[in-house]
Structure 1
Amino acid sequence: MKFGFLEDKTEFECEGFSVKILEEFDEIMDVFRSSYPVSGGFIYAPQKQLRHSPKEKREFNSPEPVVSGQLLFLPPTHKLCSEYDEEHNAFLILGYGFLQGLYLCPEGQGAFGRTPYEPGSINGLLLYRSDREKGMEAINNYFINATTEQRSQMRACIHWYLIAYSMDHEWERFDAYYKVLDGLFRLNFKLKPNNSKFIRHHERPVELANLFGIQIPAWAVVNGTASILSIQRNELAHEATFANQPIGFSVPQVNYSFELSAFLTKLIAATLGLKTDYLYSEPDMCNYLMWDIK
């Protein structure tokens, strides 16, 4: 199965599958650097010409607008050679994108509007030494041992976690990340057998952090019956406000686009069974780090 888009030329093999670059990799990179619209680390979808309606043609002399397209289709750069079926392969590609900090997808599947192209963009983590083999073996084992429902939920979590980075507005990213947090709670509590404990929204980040020994961010600490995070979530989900203002008028003091994203990176990695000291790093650490998977 071909997939991309990825500038990393490293090839590797795991039990049952391998990742190789395509023979035309260098030519694809030449075309990318000479013709694809990029800015601020993102590749943007081609522009789309809109047309005036018949009524507008009669009443307006202004130019017809040119807007960015909604879907971005990129050429594949790699191929996954495996003994598995299509669903399994698609999960491996998505998981490799999680490790690379990029939204990687099978040939013919598009990204939404724009997508980063530099490894580590989304998660702030770089692959190191044998991280590819060790990380992908853990991800493969997760898929093999998970139930159908667990596979589907994990796929949704990784997919939306990666997509969120490309969203334009702070409140959009917060909303997306909170959905991923809820999905991870469902994976680790509701989809585990013999687990009927009811856990309220403000308690869920703490329970997830404690489950894996991850440090609890200050905004997730429960004070009475709420946390800073749960109050922000209730505002956005139920009151059409964000940071105590109508959505779009203000942003929170907490940089959720970084800190909540980093928290989710750790939770996804821990749920997948990745063994790395990154899980125990400070919640607000903002330097690029190595995965260094054990």
Structure 2
Amino acid sequence: MEFGFLNENNSYTTKFIEIRPLNDINKKIKFLKDNFYIKNGWIYPPIKTDIKGNSTRPVVWYGLPSSHKLVLKISNNKDLQDFIPIFFGFLKGLHMFRDGWGHYYKTPINEGKLIRFYCTKEEICIILDKVINLYKNDYDIFKNYYAAIHWFLFGQSYSHVFEKFDAQYRVLDCCYKISTELNHINRARYHAERIEKLCTYYDIFLPNWAKSKDGKSTLSELRNNLIHEAKYAGEPVGLNSDDKQLWFNLKLINERILLSILGVKSKMFSNKLVRSRYALDWIK
């Protein structure tokens, strides 16, 4: 099964899978440059044309060419064939899909756009096997993890800040559900305490805006106003921006939680949130 797109010629071999580059990646890079608008490492939906050749509007769905082949060493499994390209993309900071799947909005073409950490080849192989073990051990928890990873990536393709925030908060809620079932963390009394419980259990830095008092926090109030009152950052949805970029910082916490759920540890997780990329430095 083929998937993409990743401009890389490395192969990855684990206990359960192999990922191999196709031999025509350079040709496909040229195809993308010739047929898509690419800016700052992001590729945008192509523009439709009418019968006269005039530009009309962006397409509602588009696919990218495949760059790699996935080989399962265990029995062929549709869930893993669908999920591994997405999860491998997460580890590369991309939103990749198997052949026949595609994108609705912009998507990154350069590595690292959707995450701040980066992994060594050895770390990637071990993490891939960890997520497959999760699938083998508990299918229901795996499906929730699948949903969290997909929405973590997909939500960053939205244009509006309130949409990005909403997506990342849903990812946080999904991570909380997974962690209460998988690791039996102490349940939160209030919604605002969920992120506190997660960060405490996984030893992840908790910023002030996520700390609760009397069952409320800056984060939970932002979420409640969006969900229940159609307001964001104090104004009607769409009429104000998130000056503190809470959606982005929430994303930084989510990526740490998503890795921690699998048992991945990094000293950086307990440090303050950073916008620059950092080495996971998990395997010594």
The 1:235–1:114 alpha-carbon spacing in structure 2 relative to 1, beyond 3 Å, is same
TM-score normalized with structure 2 length: 0.91
Contact 2:226/2:232, CA 8 A, preserved across alignment: yes
Alignment of 1:138-177 (within 5 A): 138-145=130-137, 147-177=138-168
Q: Unaligned 5+ residue runs, structure 2?
A: none
Note the C-alpha offset of 1:249.
1.2
Query: What SS is found at the alignment partner of 1:165?
Result: helix
Q: What RMSD in Å do the two structures reach over aligned CA positions? A: 2.1
Residue 293 in structure 1 maps to residue 282 in structure 2: yes
**Larger mean Cα displacement after TM superposition, 170-179 or 1-10:** 1-10
- 1:203 maps to 193
Q: Following the alignment from structure 1 to structure 2, what is the Cα–Cα distance between the partners of residues 133 and 275?
A: 15
Contact 1:45/1:68, CA 8 A, preserved across alignment: yes
Q: Rg larger in 1 or in 2?
A: 1
Residue 13 in structure 1 maps to residue 13 in structure 2: yes
Q: Unaligned 5+ residue runs, structure 1?
A: 52-63
Note the C-alpha offset of 1:214.
0.7
- 1:27 maps to 27
Residue 69 in structure 1 maps to residue 84 in structure 2: no
> What amino acid sits opposite 1:4 in the alignment?
G
Q: Following the alignment from structure 1 to structure 2, what is the Cα–Cα distance between the partners of residues 187 and 168?
A: 28
Q: Following the alignment from structure 1 to structure 2, what is the Cα–Cα distance between the partners of residues 33 and 287?
A: 27
- 1:179 maps to 170
Contact 1:22/1:78, CA 8 A, preserved across alignment: yes
Q: Following the alignment from structure 2 to structure 1, what is the Cα–Cα distance between the partners of residues 25 and 41?
A: 20
The 1:89–1:277 alpha-carbon spacing in structure 2 relative to 1, beyond 3 Å, is farther
Note the C-alpha offset of 1:50.
7.2
Alignment of 1:58-137 (within 5 A): 66-84=56-74, 85-137=77-129
- 1:54 maps to none
Query: What SS is found at the alignment partner of 1:71?
Result: coil
What percentage of residue pairs aligned between the two structures are identical? 25
> What amino acid sits opposite 2:162 in the alignment?
W
Contact 1:135/1:293, CA 8 A, preserved across alignment: no
The 1:136–1:287 alpha-carbon spacing in structure 2 relative to 1, beyond 3 Å, is same
The 1:268–1:50 alpha-carbon spacing in structure 2 relative to 1, beyond 3 Å, is farther
Residue 215 in structure 1 maps to residue 205 in structure 2: yes
Q: Following the alignment from structure 1 to structure 2, what is the Cα–Cα distance between the partners of residues 175 and 50?
A: 35
